[in-house]
Amino acid sequence: MCRTLNPTVHNSFFRRAGFFTALIFLTAATNLSATEKTSVILTVHDSLTAPNQPATIEATLTQKGSRAETGIGGEPIELHVAGQVAATGMTGRDGQALLSYTPKAKGVIPFTVRAGAASNVQVPEAGANLAVWEHRSPMMAVEVAALMEDAESRRPMPDAAAELGKLTQFYYNVLYVVANDKAVGSSDQVSAQARQWLQDQKFPVGHIIVLPPSPEAWGTKLDELHAAGWTTLKIGVGRTKAFAEAFLQRRLDAVMVPEPAKGEAPRKAKVAKEWKEVRRKL
Protein backbone atom coordinates (compact mmCIF):
# COMPACT_ATOMS: atom_id res chain seq x y z
CA MET A 1 0.00 0.00 0.00
CA CYS A 2 1.38 3.42 -0.96
CA ARG A 3 1.67 5.92 1.94
CA THR A 4 1.38 9.67 1.40
CA LEU A 5 4.10 11.71 3.08
CA ASN A 6 2.82 14.33 5.50
CA PRO A 7 3.15 17.78 3.77
CA THR A 8 4.85 19.27 6.83
CA VAL A 9 7.44 16.48 6.94
CA HIS A 10 7.84 16.72 3.14
CA ASN A 11 8.65 20.47 3.22
CA SER A 12 10.96 20.09 6.21
CA PHE A 13 12.92 17.38 4.40
CA PHE A 14 13.57 19.54 1.33
CA ARG A 15 14.45 22.58 3.44
CA ARG A 16 17.07 20.48 5.21
CA ALA A 17 18.28 19.12 1.88
CA GLY A 18 18.60 22.65 0.51
CA PHE A 19 20.55 23.73 3.60
CA PHE A 20 23.05 20.89 3.27
CA THR A 21 23.44 21.56 -0.47
CA ALA A 22 24.21 25.23 0.24
CA LEU A 23 26.62 24.23 3.00
CA ILE A 24 28.48 21.87 0.65
CA PHE A 25 28.68 24.60 -2.04
CA LEU A 26 29.93 27.19 0.47
CA THR A 27 32.58 24.79 1.80
CA ALA A 28 33.77 24.05 -1.74
CA ALA A 29 33.96 27.76 -2.56
CA THR A 30 35.91 28.42 0.65
CA ASN A 31 38.38 25.66 -0.18
CA LEU A 32 38.80 27.05 -3.70
CA SER A 33 39.54 30.53 -2.33
CA ALA A 34 42.02 29.06 0.13
CA THR A 35 44.05 27.59 -2.72
CA GLU A 36 44.68 31.08 -4.14
CA LYS A 37 47.75 32.28 -2.25
CA THR A 38 48.16 35.97 -1.51
CA SER A 39 51.08 37.90 -0.10
CA VAL A 40 51.37 41.39 1.36
CA ILE A 41 54.44 43.35 0.30
CA LEU A 42 55.85 46.66 1.56
CA THR A 43 58.30 48.31 -0.83
CA VAL A 44 60.26 51.55 -1.04
CA HIS A 45 62.91 53.04 -3.31
CA ASP A 46 65.85 55.44 -2.95
CA SER A 47 65.31 59.15 -2.64
CA LEU A 48 67.53 62.14 -3.43
CA THR A 49 67.68 65.57 -1.80
CA ALA A 50 70.06 68.28 -0.57
CA PRO A 51 70.90 69.17 3.04
CA ASN A 52 68.05 71.03 4.82
CA GLN A 53 65.72 70.28 1.91
CA PRO A 54 62.67 68.04 2.44
CA ALA A 55 62.69 64.59 0.85
CA THR A 56 59.55 62.64 0.03
CA ILE A 57 59.88 58.94 0.79
CA GLU A 58 57.36 56.86 -1.20
CA ALA A 59 56.35 53.57 0.41
CA THR A 60 53.87 51.19 -1.22
CA LEU A 61 51.80 48.48 0.46
CA THR A 62 50.31 45.91 -1.91
CA GLN A 63 48.55 42.58 -1.81
CA LYS A 64 49.55 40.22 -4.57
CA GLY A 65 47.46 37.24 -5.56
CA SER A 66 47.58 34.83 -8.47
CA ARG A 67 45.29 37.07 -10.49
CA ALA A 68 46.20 40.65 -9.67
CA GLU A 69 48.17 43.03 -7.46
CA THR A 70 46.23 45.70 -5.59
CA GLY A 71 47.15 48.48 -3.20
CA ILE A 72 46.10 48.31 0.44
CA GLY A 73 44.73 51.63 1.65
CA GLY A 74 44.10 53.04 5.11
CA GLU A 75 47.17 51.51 6.78
CA PRO A 76 49.65 53.46 8.94
CA ILE A 77 53.28 53.49 7.77
CA GLU A 78 56.34 54.64 9.72
CA LEU A 79 59.68 55.96 8.47
CA HIS A 80 62.62 54.95 10.67
CA VAL A 81 66.00 56.72 10.53
CA ALA A 82 68.83 55.75 12.90
CA GLY A 83 66.42 53.62 14.91
CA GLN A 84 63.94 56.43 15.51
CA VAL A 85 60.53 57.19 13.99
CA ALA A 86 61.21 60.15 11.69
CA ALA A 87 57.82 60.44 9.96
CA THR A 88 54.45 58.73 9.74
CA GLY A 89 51.79 58.51 7.05
CA MET A 90 48.76 56.60 5.86
CA THR A 91 48.45 54.60 2.66
CA GLY A 92 45.94 55.87 0.09
CA ARG A 93 43.63 53.79 -2.04
CA ASP A 94 46.56 52.92 -4.30
CA GLY A 95 48.52 51.59 -1.33
CA GLN A 96 51.06 54.42 -1.42
CA ALA A 97 52.15 56.50 1.58
CA LEU A 98 54.18 59.71 1.25
CA LEU A 99 56.55 60.37 4.15
CA SER A 100 58.35 63.72 4.48
CA TYR A 101 61.79 63.97 6.06
CA THR A 102 64.32 66.82 6.10
CA PRO A 103 67.96 65.74 6.63
CA LYS A 104 70.51 68.15 8.02
CA ALA A 105 73.90 66.79 6.96
CA LYS A 106 75.12 65.48 3.61
CA GLY A 107 75.80 61.80 3.05
CA VAL A 108 73.88 58.64 2.23
CA ILE A 109 71.36 57.81 4.95
CA PRO A 110 69.94 54.28 5.18
CA PHE A 111 66.30 54.14 6.29
CA THR A 112 63.50 51.63 6.72
CA VAL A 113 59.73 51.80 6.43
CA ARG A 114 57.42 49.64 8.55
CA ALA A 115 53.74 49.05 9.09
CA GLY A 116 52.57 51.07 12.08
CA ALA A 117 51.63 49.54 15.43
CA ALA A 118 47.91 49.99 14.67
CA SER A 119 48.17 48.37 11.22
CA ASN A 120 45.88 45.48 10.31
CA VAL A 121 48.60 43.73 8.30
CA GLN A 122 51.80 41.94 9.19
CA VAL A 123 54.54 42.56 6.67
CA PRO A 124 58.36 42.67 6.77
CA GLU A 125 59.97 46.10 6.82
CA ALA A 126 61.64 47.48 3.69
CA GLY A 127 64.79 49.56 3.41
CA ALA A 128 66.45 51.96 0.99
CA ASN A 129 68.84 54.93 0.98
CA LEU A 130 68.36 58.67 1.07
CA ALA A 131 71.18 60.44 -0.78
CA VAL A 132 71.79 63.90 0.70
CA TRP A 133 74.16 65.73 -1.63
CA GLU A 134 75.12 69.31 -2.30
CA HIS A 135 73.92 70.51 -5.70
CA ARG A 136 77.43 71.78 -6.49
CA SER A 137 79.12 68.39 -5.91
CA PRO A 138 80.18 66.50 -9.07
CA MET A 139 78.00 63.54 -10.00
CA MET A 140 78.32 60.62 -12.38
CA ALA A 141 75.81 58.04 -13.56
CA VAL A 142 76.74 54.39 -13.97
CA GLU A 143 74.69 51.71 -15.69
CA VAL A 144 74.54 48.67 -13.42
CA ALA A 145 74.84 46.54 -16.57
CA ALA A 146 78.32 48.04 -17.11
CA LEU A 147 79.40 46.60 -13.76
CA MET A 148 78.53 43.00 -14.72
CA GLU A 149 80.29 40.59 -17.02
CA ASP A 150 76.87 39.51 -18.27
CA ALA A 151 73.25 39.61 -17.11
CA GLU A 152 72.99 35.82 -16.78
CA SER A 153 75.88 35.18 -14.41
CA ARG A 154 75.68 38.61 -12.71
CA ARG A 155 79.38 38.37 -11.93
CA PRO A 156 81.00 41.79 -11.41
CA MET A 157 83.51 42.93 -13.98
CA PRO A 158 87.12 42.68 -12.81
CA ASP A 159 88.29 45.77 -10.86
CA ALA A 160 84.91 47.51 -11.28
CA ALA A 161 84.23 47.89 -7.54
CA ALA A 162 87.77 49.03 -6.74
CA GLU A 163 87.94 51.53 -9.61
CA LEU A 164 84.51 52.99 -8.90
CA GLY A 165 85.47 53.22 -5.24
CA LYS A 166 88.45 55.40 -6.19
CA LEU A 167 86.25 57.66 -8.28
CA THR A 168 83.70 58.16 -5.52
CA GLN A 169 86.01 58.33 -2.51
CA PHE A 170 87.01 61.96 -2.90
CA TYR A 171 85.18 63.34 -5.91
CA TYR A 172 82.04 61.93 -7.56
CA ASN A 173 78.66 61.09 -6.11
CA VAL A 174 77.33 58.10 -8.03
CA LEU A 175 73.90 57.38 -9.47
CA TYR A 176 73.27 53.74 -10.36
CA VAL A 177 70.91 53.27 -13.30
CA VAL A 178 69.08 50.00 -13.87
CA ALA A 179 66.31 49.06 -16.31
CA ASN A 180 63.09 47.71 -14.83
CA ASP A 181 62.85 43.94 -15.29
CA LYS A 182 59.17 42.95 -15.07
CA ALA A 183 60.20 39.36 -14.38
CA VAL A 184 61.69 40.50 -11.06
CA GLY A 185 58.64 42.50 -9.98
CA SER A 186 57.84 46.15 -9.35
CA SER A 187 60.41 48.92 -9.79
CA ASP A 188 60.87 48.96 -6.00
CA GLN A 189 61.67 45.25 -6.01
CA VAL A 190 64.14 45.73 -8.88
CA SER A 191 65.73 48.55 -6.88
CA ALA A 192 66.01 46.34 -3.78
CA GLN A 193 67.63 43.56 -5.78
CA ALA A 194 70.15 45.95 -7.35
CA ARG A 195 70.94 47.48 -3.94
CA GLN A 196 71.63 44.04 -2.47
CA TRP A 197 73.86 43.05 -5.39
CA LEU A 198 75.87 46.25 -5.14
CA GLN A 199 76.29 45.76 -1.43
CA ASP A 200 77.29 42.10 -1.78
CA GLN A 201 79.90 42.98 -4.41
CA LYS A 202 81.37 45.83 -2.30
CA PHE A 203 80.46 48.69 -4.64
CA PRO A 204 80.32 52.20 -3.14
CA VAL A 205 76.95 53.32 -1.84
CA GLY A 206 75.00 55.57 -4.20
CA HIS A 207 71.54 56.51 -5.37
CA ILE A 208 69.66 53.90 -7.42
CA ILE A 209 67.35 54.91 -10.27
CA VAL A 210 65.08 52.33 -11.91
CA LEU A 211 63.88 53.21 -15.41
CA PRO A 212 61.38 51.74 -17.87
CA PRO A 213 63.11 49.59 -20.52
CA SER A 214 62.85 52.13 -23.34
CA PRO A 215 65.66 53.92 -25.23
CA GLU A 216 64.33 57.37 -24.31
CA ALA A 217 63.84 56.72 -20.59
CA TRP A 218 67.29 57.77 -19.37
CA GLY A 219 67.33 60.94 -21.48
CA THR A 220 64.01 61.98 -19.98
CA LYS A 221 65.25 61.29 -16.46
CA LEU A 222 68.49 63.13 -17.13
CA ASP A 223 66.50 66.22 -18.14
CA GLU A 224 64.40 65.94 -14.99
CA LEU A 225 67.48 65.79 -12.80
CA HIS A 226 69.02 68.84 -14.46
CA ALA A 227 65.75 70.75 -14.12
CA ALA A 228 65.72 69.88 -10.40
CA GLY A 229 69.14 71.49 -9.97
CA TRP A 230 71.43 68.48 -10.34
CA THR A 231 73.37 70.14 -13.15
CA THR A 232 76.75 68.70 -12.10
CA LEU A 233 75.66 65.35 -13.53
CA LYS A 234 77.78 65.64 -16.67
CA ILE A 235 79.22 62.19 -17.27
CA GLY A 236 77.91 58.67 -17.64
CA VAL A 237 79.63 55.29 -17.71
CA GLY A 238 77.47 52.68 -19.36
CA ARG A 239 77.19 49.58 -21.46
CA THR A 240 74.36 50.36 -23.87
CA LYS A 241 74.27 52.65 -26.85
CA ALA A 242 71.05 54.33 -25.70
CA PHE A 243 72.63 55.25 -22.35
CA ALA A 244 75.67 56.82 -24.00
CA GLU A 245 73.58 58.67 -26.56
CA ALA A 246 71.46 60.29 -23.83
CA PHE A 247 74.61 62.09 -22.61
CA LEU A 248 76.10 62.84 -26.02
CA GLN A 249 72.84 64.34 -27.31
CA ARG A 250 73.03 66.85 -24.42
CA ARG A 251 76.72 67.61 -25.09
CA LEU A 252 77.83 65.67 -22.04
CA ASP A 253 80.52 62.98 -21.77
CA ALA A 254 79.94 59.24 -22.04
CA VAL A 255 82.26 56.27 -21.54
CA MET A 256 81.28 52.80 -22.70
CA VAL A 257 82.66 49.75 -20.89
CA PRO A 258 83.42 47.02 -21.82
CA GLU A 259 84.33 47.80 -25.41
CA PRO A 260 81.17 47.31 -27.50
CA ALA A 261 80.92 45.46 -30.79
CA LYS A 262 82.08 47.34 -33.86
CA GLY A 263 79.57 49.98 -34.88
CA GLU A 264 77.72 49.95 -31.53
CA ALA A 265 79.55 52.89 -29.98
CA PRO A 266 78.23 56.37 -30.91
CA ARG A 267 80.78 58.49 -32.75
CA LYS A 268 81.76 60.77 -29.84
CA ALA A 269 81.60 58.16 -27.08
CA LYS A 270 84.80 57.19 -25.30
CA VAL A 271 85.50 53.48 -25.03
CA ALA A 272 87.24 51.50 -22.28
CA LYS A 273 88.10 47.84 -22.67
CA GLU A 274 88.05 47.34 -18.90
CA TRP A 275 87.34 49.28 -15.73
CA LYS A 276 91.02 50.02 -15.11
CA GLU A 277 90.89 52.29 -18.17
CA VAL A 278 87.78 54.24 -17.15
CA ARG A 279 89.50 56.87 -14.97
CA ARG A 280 91.85 57.79 -17.85
CA LYS A 281 88.81 58.46 -20.05
CA LEU A 282 87.14 60.94 -17.70
Per-residue pLDDT for the chain (282 aa), expressed as one digit of tens each? 444 445 444 444 334 444 344 333 333 333 434 444 568 999 999 999 999 999 999 999 999 875 678 999 999 999 999 999 999 999 999 999 999 999 999 999 999 999 999 999 999 999 999 999 999 999 999 999 999 999 889 999 999 999 999 999 989 999 999 998 777 778 999 999 999 999 999 999 999 999 998 889 999 999 999 999 999 999 999 999 999 999 999 999 999 999 999 888 999 999 999 999 999 999
Number of Cβ within 10 Å of residue 1's Cβ equals: 2
pLDDT at position 66: 59
Q: Map out the domains of the chain with their CATH numbers.
A: 39-132 (2.60.40.10), 139-281 (3.40.50.1000)
pLDDT at 232: 98
- Answer whether 16's CB lies under 8 Å from 22's CB: no
107-115, strands of its sheet edge to edge: 47-49, 126-132, 107-115, 76-81, 84-90
Q: Give the C-alpha separation, 50 to 271, whole Å.
A: 32
- What is the predicted pLDDT for the residue at 182? 72
pTM score, two decimals? 0.84
